[in-house]
Amino acid sequence: MFADRAKIWIRSGKGGDGHVSFRRELYVPNGGPDGGDGGKGGDVIFEVDEGLNTLTDYRHKRKYTAQDGQEGGKRNCHGKNGQDITLKVPEGTVIKDAESGRVIADMSAKNRRQVVLKGGRGGIGNQHFATATMQVPKYAKPGQPAQELEVLLELKVIADVGLVGFPNVGKSTLLSRVTNAQPKIANYHFTTLSPNLGVVDLDEGGFVIADIPGLIEGASEGVGLGLDFLRHIERTKIIIHMVDAASVEGRDPIADIYAINKELEAYNPEIAARPQVIAANKMDAVWDPAENPAEKIRQEFEPKGIKVFPISAVTGQGLKELMYHIKEILDTMDDKPVIFEQEFFPEDMFIQENLPYTVEKSAEEANTYIVEGPRIEKMLGYTNLDSEKGFAFFQRFLKDTGILEELEKAGIQEGDTVRMYGLTFDYFR
């Protein structure tokens, strides 16, 4: 069965605790502290797998956990880092926070691999706490806790053109004629139960078209299989309305177009506003030569800027003209794919707002400012600064928490240095 939606629970690894121990060797009865640091917890990573096209695997297993970091050992032994867990998903999968529905990651275009939950940083052993006045520290730092989150995976097919229409209007037949796709075709409702993709090859280039399974009235409210299908047109740039112009089943094609547009508008107004083309199908089945149902559709929709093409998916009539018109529209549009931007940052959940931090000018280094405290340390432990999105979160954190404002109050100038627990960067407005 085609699976394009799954809800799973993910957890990163906990950081290993720092160790408390002291050297105990022959002739060294009271050696100094030698407790090692704990290992880092494993990350939860999502990665695109070109060989996958459904989320079926996530229907059978719901919980995924990265490995915890190992506790530090005596003799300055560092605990083993926890193993990451990598979850493979098909291209086009959107990862959302299950509770809020906000986007965490869109696994498409250039985003092939993303760390969604970072493992906790390992705690430090008691060897780090030795000072001239405290030579026997009997405490170590625990590892940072794991992060856990329930996420919703939604597969939204990647296609330039979405082919929509009520059941049994000939969408699968059209796709089989203009592409190499081989969808199941039969004369009964809901033959197509999953989106079919095909590539249209033209002299001037090609484009990807998706046959979106038949919609019905109330689809945007979850009637029938509507919501399961509507999400697949969110990435499309052009919509082809396919109607039964011959009214073989007694349907009114004009009313059908308005009904589907109403569902698109209710689901996502932005989709309904995208360019549309009408394919008036089954012209070969019009029994009265004097009647031209495509002309009635033209009179209704072409004044609204929606071009109508009389076609027959069975005989091939009008298909070439329709496909070239679609290509002309695509050539005038931005060729960037439709990407869902990140709206939810898991790091926000794990950085407590009430933890303190300090901003001070260094007394030892000129033009240097020190920012530290539990809140800063926790943020750095959960943020992947090597990634573009992680660094963007870091910048937003500095602004939202008021750290940048505090630095300016302390007198920082452009080009001055800021230090945060081993992280050093130059300040620029």
Task: Kindly report, residue by residue over 256-289, the tens digit of the pLDDT.
Answer: 899 888 888 888 888 888 999 999 988 887 776 6
Alpha-carbon radius of gyration of the chain: 30
pLDDT score, position 48: 94
Model confidence at 190, in pLDDT bands (50, 70, 90)?
A: very low
**CA distances in angstroms from 171 to 191, 305, 309, 391, listed in the order given:** 11, 23, 14, 45
pLDDT score, position 191: 42
Question: Which ranges constitute the DSSP H helices of 179-318?
Answer: 226-230, 253-267, 269-272, 293-301
* Packing angle of the helix pair 319-331, 171-178 (nearest 10 deg): 80
Range among 54-58, 347-351, 362-366 with highest mean pLDDT value? 54-58
Q: pLDDT digit string (tens) for 305-320? A: 999 999 988 888 899 9
Instruction: Give the CA angle between residues 152, 154, 155 to the nearest 5°.
Output: 155
Look at residue 4 and tell me whether its pLDDT is greater than 80: no
SS3 call for 103: strand
Model confidence at 231, in pLDDT bands (50, 70, 90)?
A: confident
Model confidence at 351, in pLDDT bands (50, 70, 90)?
A: low
pLDDT score, position 185: 43
Q: Are 55 and 6 spatial neighbours (Cβ–Cβ below 8 Å)? A: yes
Q: CA-to-CA distance for 343 and 393, rounded, in angstroms?
A: 11
- What is the average pLDDT score of the chain? 82
**φ and ψ of 244, to 5 deg:** -90, 90
What number is the average pLDDT over the span 227-248? Answer: 82
Ordered strands of the 358-361 beta sheet: 358-361, 368-372, 417-420, 423-426
SS3 call for 69: coil
Tokens representing 303? 């004044």
Residues 6+ apart with CB under 8 A from 56: 1, 2, 3
Q: Which of 167-171, 227-231, 305-309 has the least mean pLDDT? A: 227-231
Q: pLDDT digit string (tens) for 68-99? A: 999 998 888 999 999 999 999 988 899 999 98
pLDDT score, position 205: 77
What number is the average pLDDT over the span 111-137? Answer: 85
Beta bridge partners of 281: 244
Look at residue 194 and tell me whether its pLDDT is greater than 70: no
Range among 2-6, 192-196, 340-344 with highest mean pLDDT value? 340-344
More reliable by pLDDT, 133 or 256: 256
What number is the average pLDDT over the span 177-204? Answer: 62
* Packing angle of the helix pair 293-301, 253-267 (nearest 10 deg): 40
Look at residue 219 and tell me whether its pLDDT is greater than 60: no
Rounded to two decimals, the pTM is 0.70
Model confidence at 381, in pLDDT bands (50, 70, 90)?
A: low
Look at residue 137 and tell me whether its pLDDT is greater than 70: yes
SS3 call for 201: strand
- Say how many C-beta atoms besides its own lie within 10 A of residue 172's C-beta: 23
- Say how many C-beta atoms besides its own lie within 10 A of residue 201's C-beta: 12
**Cα–Cα nearest to 201, from 327, 289, 76:** 327
**Cα–Cα nearest to 33, from 123, 122, 133, 138:** 138
Q: Are 216 and 189 spatial neighbours (Cβ–Cβ below 8 Å)? A: no
pLDDT score, position 325: 92
Q: Are 46 and 66 spatial neighbours (Cβ–Cβ below 8 Å)? A: no
**CA distances in angstroms from 423 to 354, 371, 380, 391, listed in the order given:** 23, 10, 9, 12
